[in-house]
């Protein structure tokens, strides 16, 4: 267990109770002093919980009592709902202060979540140059490199020496996360090279920047997909990557701390899609913040597509109905055969979809995968068949012919489902579609139909129906 986190959790729980009590008794300053024992991230977490357990008005009073410099940091960490509540409650002067003091990338994040009228109100009071820059940033699509970057970076001249560069950094005095790599541009803002702060610190004072800058750096284009950006961070292990436009002009940098959120988002999206949930709004709203209608809308499409598939499944059964009513006990094994086919297919699909996402599997591996899944299917199918032969004969007391029908069908269904489950994601990927989105509905619908067809075919064969 994480001892410290555990301790902090318990401490915060105690503080929360005290604060809520004091708020009830209107002892606001005492409550504020308790809050100030924590860092900005934790204060924001506490405020969210106070808002939930007490009320938003008291939370806002508490927020306004914070020291100005801390209030900005806390504001950046709050959820967008709470941010909007605060913006609506504070004076324009307070709002201007917060907006002007926010780091640029936090500012963009805040503005993206706010309603248009609030954004306009804020932009009116922003200097023209910054307003233009904000508008540019707000216009980048939500999932591209441009939406992740910050224009706060240190830029150096290639003719400077190390001492001058360090003095320049000192005078700029930036956020820790953006200062560790410095960028060298020519007069047309084209990126020439990068120098890390550690290189500057360990180099002699009179060395020229152009002699220590790295020129075969990795960079992103503003319109690159955030998934590709996070791939590069994972592959190379950098703390920051520069972002350029189509003319190779430096427009911003992306720092690794923002990539952690991207990776979590991308994993969530994949997991949801693989299990039949489509996030239409591409929102970063949590489960509890989404309305029931939005939830229903995200879940219905896949279920409706499967409805269509079930029409065909129904038709297959209807065609076999006459024979089925002669040996009605065959019905009892239908759920098992269809269910096992579905599950075993989705196991294979999961591994391949994940392998594609983490670049461990590639579409060119299709033959290797096929051969592997064929053998896995034979092993898994044989084990399940043997277990079932016992069950059908001994436990259910049915005839060996029926047991044979069930077991041979089981083996064939498992082998088929493993192959189907592994091949569909690869084929979908070849068509440049997202395997997580398409694969599962396709596999579920086909595997049910084929499972039934195989079962009835075996029944006809072994039971002379």
Q: Does 276 bind its own copies (CB under 8 A)?
A: yes
Among 2, 25, 206, 247, binds its own copies (CB under 8 A): 2
Name the residue nearer to its own copies (CB basis): 122 or 417.
417
Compute the distance between CA of residue 241 and CA of residue 251 in angstroms, rounded to an integer: 11
Does residue 196 bind its own copies (CB under 8 A)? yes
Residue ranges in 36-139 assigned as alpha helix (H): 40-53, 56-64, 68-77, 80-89, 92-101, 104-113, 116-124, 128-138
Query: Would you put residue 173 in left (φ > 0), alpha (ψ -120 to 50) or beta?
Result: left
Of 96 and 113, the one with the shorter C-beta distance to its own copies is: 113
Q: What is the rounded CA–CA span in Å between residue 167 and residue 159? A: 14
Residues 123-182 interacting with its own copies (rule: CB under 8 A): 166, 169-170, 173-174, 176-177, 179-180
The answer to the question of residue 98 lying near its own copies (CB under 8 A) is no
x/- mask, its own copies, residues 283-322, rule CB under 8 A, reads ---xxx---xx-xx--xx-xxx-xx--xx-xxx-xx--x-
Comparing CB distances to its own copies, the nearer of 90 and 373 is 373
Site for its own copies in 383-412 (CB under 8 A): 383-384, 387-388, 391, 395-396
Backbone torsions φ then ψ of 193, nearest 5 degrees: -175, 175
List the one residue from 101, 365, 427, 457 that touches its own copies (CB under 8 A). 365
In terms of CB distance, is 68 or 375 closer to its own copies?
375
CA pair distance 242, 250, nearest whole angstrom:
7
Long-range contacts of 269-277 (CB under 8 A, 24+ apart): 269/436, 270/353, 270/354, 270/357, 270/436, 273/434, 273/436, 273/437, 273/440, 274/349, 274/350, 274/353, 274/436, 274/439, 274/440, 275/440, 276/302, 276/303, 276/440, 276/441, 277/302
Per CB under 8 A, 235 contacts its own copies? yes
Strands (E), 138-238: 154-156, 181-185, 191-196, 220-221
Q: For residue 228, state whether it binds its own copies (rule: CB under 8 A).
A: yes
Q: For residue 309, which of 175, 194, 430, 450 has the smallest C-alpha distance?
A: 450
Q: Which lies closer to its own copies via its Cβ, residue 211 or residue 264?
A: 264
| Order of strands, sheet of 181-185, starting from the edge strand that comes earlier in the sequence | 154-156, 181-185, 191-196
The number of residues that bind its own copies (CB under 8 A) is: 124
Between residue 405 and residue 444, which ones bind its own copies under the rule CB under 8 A?
444
**Residue 242: enclosing H or E segment and its boundaries?**
strand 240-244
Burial class (CB in 10 A: 0-12, 13-18, 19+), 97: middle
Out of 128, 237, 280, 464, name the contact with its own copies by CB under 8 A: 237
User: Does the footprint of its own copies cover residue 465 (CB under 8 A)?
Assistant: no
Shortest distance (Å) from residue 309 CB to its own copies? 9
Binding mask 18-57 for its own copies (x = CB under 8 A): ---------------------x-x----------------
Question: Judged by CB under 8 A, does residue 239 bind its own copies?
Answer: yes
Q: Write down the least CB distance from residue 23 to its own copies, Å.
A: 20
Among the listed residues 63, 75, 137, 219, the single contact to its own copies using CB under 8 A: 219
Q: Give the interface segment with its own copies, choosing from 93-101, 126-134, 155-163, 253-261 (CB under 8 A).
A: 253-261
Q: Residue 464: left if φ>0, alpha if ψ -120 to 50, beta else—which one?
A: left
- 60 with 86: CB under 8 angstroms? yes
| Residue 380 binding its own copies, by CB under 8 A | yes
Binding segment (CB under 8 A) for its own copies, from list 17-25, 93-101, 107-115, 268-276: 268-276
Q: In angstroms, what is the minimal distance from the CB of 246 to its own copies? A: 8
Based on CB atoms, which residue is closest to its own copies, 90 or 222? 222
Assess 116 for contact with its own copies (CB under 8 A): no
> Within 321-360, which residues bind its own copies (CB under 8 A)?
321, 324-325, 328-329, 331-336, 338-340, 342-344, 346-347, 349-352, 354-355, 358, 360
| DSSP H helix total and E strand total for the chain | 22, 6
């Amino acid at each position: 267990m994480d001892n410290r986190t555990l301790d902090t959790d318990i401490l915060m729980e105690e503080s929360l109770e005290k604060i809520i009590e004091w708020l009830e008794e209107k002892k606001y300053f005492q409550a504020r002093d308790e809050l100030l024992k924590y860092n900005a991230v934790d204060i924001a977490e506490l405020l969210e919980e106070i808002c939930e357990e007490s009320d938003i008005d008291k939370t806002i009073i508490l927020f306004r009592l914070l020291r100005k410099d801390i209030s900005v940091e806390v504001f950046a960490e709050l959820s967008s709902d709470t941010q909007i509540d605060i913006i609506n409650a504070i004076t324009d002067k307070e709002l201007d202060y917060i907006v002007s003091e926010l780091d640029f990338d936090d500012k963009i994040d805040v503005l993206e979540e706010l309603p248009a009228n609030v954004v306009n109100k804020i932009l009116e009071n922003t200097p023209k140059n910054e307003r233009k820059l904000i508008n540019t940033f707000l216009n980048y699509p939500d999932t591209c490199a441009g939406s992740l970057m910050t224009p706060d970076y240190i830029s150096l001249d290639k003719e400077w020496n190390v001492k001058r560069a360090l003095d320049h950094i000192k005078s700029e005095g930036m956020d820790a996360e953006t200062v560790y790599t410095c960028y060298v541009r020519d007069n047309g803002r084209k990126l020439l090279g990068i120098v890390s702060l550690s290189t500057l610190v360990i180099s002699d004072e009179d060395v020229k920047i152009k002699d220590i800058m790295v020129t075969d750096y990795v960079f992103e284009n503003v319109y690159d997909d955030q998934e590709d950006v996070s791939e590069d961070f994972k592959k190379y292990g950098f703390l920051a990557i520069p972002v350029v436009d189509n003319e190779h002009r430096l427009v911003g940098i992306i720092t690794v701390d923002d990539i952690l959120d991207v990776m979590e988002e991308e994993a969530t999206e994949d997991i949801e899609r693989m299990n039949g949930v489509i996030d239409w709004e591409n929102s970063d709203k949590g489960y509890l913040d989404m309305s029931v209608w939005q939830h229903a809308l995200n879940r219905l499409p896949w279920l409706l597509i499967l409805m269509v598939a079930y029409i065909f499944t129904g038709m297959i059964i209807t065609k076999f109905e006459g024979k089925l009513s002669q040996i009605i006990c065959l019905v009892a094994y239908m759920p098992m055969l269809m269910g096992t086919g579905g599950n075993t297919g989705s196991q294979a699909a999961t591994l391949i979809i994940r392998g594609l996402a983490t670049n461990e599997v590639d579409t060119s591996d299709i033959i290797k995968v096929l051969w592997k899944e064929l053998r896995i299917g034979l092993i898994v199918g044989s084990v399940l068949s043997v277990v079932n032969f016992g069950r059908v004969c001994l436990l259910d007391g049915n005839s060996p012919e029926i047991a044979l029908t069930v077991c041979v069908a089981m083996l064939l269904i498992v082998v088929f489902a493993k192959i189907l489950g592994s091949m569909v994601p690869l084929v979908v990927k070849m068509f440049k579609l997202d395997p997580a989105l398409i694969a599962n509905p396709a596999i579920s619908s086909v595997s049910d139909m084929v499972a039934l067809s195989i079962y009835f075919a075996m029944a006809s064969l072994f039971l002379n129906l």
